[in-house]
Amino acid sequence: MDIDQILKKAAKKQETQGDKIFALDIGTRSVVGILGEKADEKYHVIDCVVAPHTRRAMVDGQIEDIKQVAKIVGQVKQKLEQRNGITLSKASIAAAGRALKTVNISKEFDVSGSEIITEEMVASMEMETVSAAQAELDESMQNEKTLFYCVGHNVVTYRLDDYKMISLNGHKGNTAGIDMVVAFLPGIVVESLYSVMELNKLEVQSLTLEPIAAMNVIIPPEIRLINIALVDIGAGTSDIAIAKDGSIIAYAMATVAGDEITEEIIRSFLVDFSVAEQMKHDSSDNEVFTYKDIFGIPHQVTQEEFIEKILPCMDNLASTICETIVKINSGSPQAVFLVGGGSLIKGLTTLVADKLDIDEDRVAVGGGEFLRDVDTGDFNMGAEFITPLGIGVTALEDRGYDFSVINVNGKKIRVFDTKKLTVYQVLSLAGYKAGDIMGHSGQGLAFTVNGNKVFRKGTMMTPAEIKINGNGGGLTSIVTQGDQIQFTPAKNGENARAVLKNEINYRKYHSGSVSFGDKAYKFGIEAYVNGVKKPMQYEIQPLDEITTGGILTLGDLLNSIGIEYSEGFAINGQYAEEASLLSDGDIITLKLMSGNERKTVRENAYTPSSAQSSDYSGAVNEAAKAVFSSKPDEHAAETFEPGRTSSAYPSSFNDASETQSRSISPSRSESVRQNAPAATAETLSVSETGVDYKPAPRSESAFSAYSGGVAGFDEKTEDNGEENEDTIEIVPALTLTLNGKPQIGRAHV
């Protein structure tokens, strides 16, 4: 039988891992692997392997060279497998507290509809509280790109109807509450640990924080009524947990640890790293010990001399640890446990007690004699093994964490596994915001036009598209390890927009300029927003108050230049009323009419007639030269510019619909102008414009707004027909001044 067959045969005999716990403590200087199992309610150690890093692959508890660390982990795994005839497929790990963040959170739950509170309900409430803490941290860190993972939590207090409880299981009430402290580490710390596991084909069974793991084997719940600080002094970090009133109330981390002491030994005694580490251990047990420096020269040193050399460094370590304890505990604790390889240095407990001002016998190195519910068998395990033992116990009691890897649009997302993980939760952790996931319709726009409320709706949103493993899914769909999510973000609807030209019927009213005397006057509808004149391109804002006004009729124009309307005004040679609408190019004069003519105009007020096409242009133009108009308001707006008339309105209106639109009733004219600032005619000398203002044929009558007689006309004269209906004379306007106000009247023939 050749060697390959022997190996294959041996491999077939290997057992699967089953319920055995493989605990891995990946430290800055070494990797510790412990294989154990549960028996008689205890964690029994089956085997233990320690392998130092051959080169510096970790700094302050953070993996920097993943492949190198994975290589050492692989060696530990292989030795345990070979020595125990087992294939390891799962591992429990712990993270050091580099860049640790904690969230203290309280959450209440309605339990009034339950018969009793079950263990499953409590677990669900705890996980929901952890999720709320995660959301709170994510919100506070939204401007940073760092993703944080929950690596530990501890219930500080259970409450039932405002009473503190040790446990909620089996109770009945209306409102349950949980006060919790939750620990988080940056994604880079967690991801690097998982990468090492994946390279060794190990599934992470549970993940916890190193001080929590140590707490679980040194300070059990019944002792946590005492205010105790536990400090895990590793090579790169010193991780701290505080217990009080039966719970762990705080976590913290200091970036000074055993490496600082080792480096001081190297400098002081001229030795390499391995010798310095050995001297640190020897000094705790021996009064006198020997070492060789980098030149190979042997030396002998006493414990006292050794401590004296490194005392400044030890004092700095003790000061940093104690300052952190006092900060998170709001004072000195009643007792302190030191664990980890860095705690073995002689004299450190004395320094810590002195700086916290507590008795020296209240500070102890947590060795094997303090272990709870752990049987180490034939292995002598001191303070340096407390953390890996705690990792195993934490996994055994199912108090660690498990993470699932979900693929979102090709990107791996590691999420805390609550056993009921929804697509919505995964997308949130993947960095998608609520607007991307849920979407929303565009905001509406509310404003008023002449006192009438107007509301314009935004456009509808386009829903997000979700596929799970190629099939349709929704935000509440449950996903598990390895699922593939294809996500197309929702497209938000557009906010409603409106401009004045689309909300005000500018086309309904004419605009342009008219001539009166030797001046050209600009006219047209105007819009005011919150009392300020705005162009038709103005974009309306929420809650704007819009009013309309301007110069639209003959009366508006006369009023704007300080002239009071009276009978006898004509537009393009045809008699015009105060409410007659203006058109571009109109020429305004005074016109005397016979009684019969007045009667004909009134009778034909609504009936356009091609017969009314007498050419008054010659006489009108002559009269226009002599017409004197009042000086325009000195506060008038921009000067009329030639050529700015609207192309939408021709100067000639021959069809009936166009003709009828040129005369409105006084009441309608007033409604257009309501609430708007008083309009002032804008002027420009006719001779300066070079524009030939040709009068447009007018078939509407100034009487179209009235159902009875025309104000200001002598009905008797009209009825008797005393004036010759063929006698028509056009005369220029005369300007009279009464008490400083221009008045216009009619000349007598």
Residue 186 pLDDT class (50, 70, 90 cuts): confident
Is there a common fold for 15-94 and 221-371?
A: yes
Mean pLDDT for the chain overall:
75
- The string of pLDDT tens digits covering residues 647-692 is 333 333 333 333 333 333 443 344 344 444 455 555 554 333 333 3
User: Residue 298: helix, strand or coil by DSSP?
Assistant: strand
What pLDDT score does 73 carry?
94
Q: Residues 330, 335, 339, CA angle at the centre, nearest 5°?
A: 105
- The string of pLDDT tens digits covering residues 493-527 is 889 999 988 888 777 777 788 888 888 888 888 88
Whether residue 749 has pLDDT greater than 80: no
Greatest mean pLDDT range, 104-118, 592-606, 688-702: 104-118
- The string of pLDDT tens digits covering residues 569-583 is 888 888 888 888 888
Mean pLDDT of the 216-228 span:
85
Residue 715 pLDDT class (50, 70, 90 cuts): very low
Class of domain 15-94: alpha beta
* pLDDT over 70 percentage in the chain: 74
- The string of pLDDT tens digits covering residues 257-273 is 888 888 899 999 999 88
Dihedrals phi, psi of 270, to nearest 5 degrees: 55, 55
Query: In the β-sheet with 203-209, what is the strand arrangement from edge to edge?
Result: 203-209, 90-95, 21-26, 30-39, 42-52, 374-375
pTM: 0.55
What residues does each domain of the chain span? 15-94, 221-371, 405-488, 500-744
Whether residue 409 has pLDDT greater than 50: yes
What pLDDT score does 607 carry?
41
Instruction: Give the burial string for 218-239 (b: 16+ CB within 10 Å, else e).
Output: bbeeeebeebbbbbbbbbbbbb
* Contact assessment for residue 46 and residue 84, using Cβ atoms and an 8 Å cutoff: yes
Neighbours of 698 (CB within 10 A): 24
Mean pLDDT of the 712-738 span:
39
Q: How far apart are CA 255 and CA 259, in angstroms?
A: 10
Task: Give domain 221-371's CATH superfamily.
Answer: ATPase, nucleotide binding domain (3.30.420.40)
User: Residue 314: helix, strand or coil by DSSP?
Assistant: helix
What pLDDT score does 4 carry?
58
Contacts 24+ apart (CB under 8 A), 280-288: 280/344, 280/345, 281/344, 283/307, 283/345, 283/346, 284/344, 284/345, 284/346
Q: How far apart are CA 466 and CA 358, in angstroms?
A: 60
- The string of pLDDT tens digits covering residues 137-164 is 888 877 776 777 777 788 888 999 988 8
Nearest CA among 120, 119, 126, 121 for reference residue 105:
126
Nearest CA among 428, 454, 466, 459 for reference residue 443:
459
- The string of pLDDT tens digits covering residues 629-644 is 333 333 333 322 222 2
What pLDDT score does 740 carry?
58
What pLDDT score does 555 carry?
85
Q: Does domain 405-488 have CATH number 3.30.70.360?
A: no
- Write out the H or E segment, with its range, that includes residue 218: helix 210-218
Whether residue 694 has pLDDT greater than 80: no
- The string of pLDDT tens digits covering residues 586-632 is 888 876 555 565 555 555 543 443 333 333 333 333 333 333 333 33
Residue 378 pLDDT class (50, 70, 90 cuts): confident
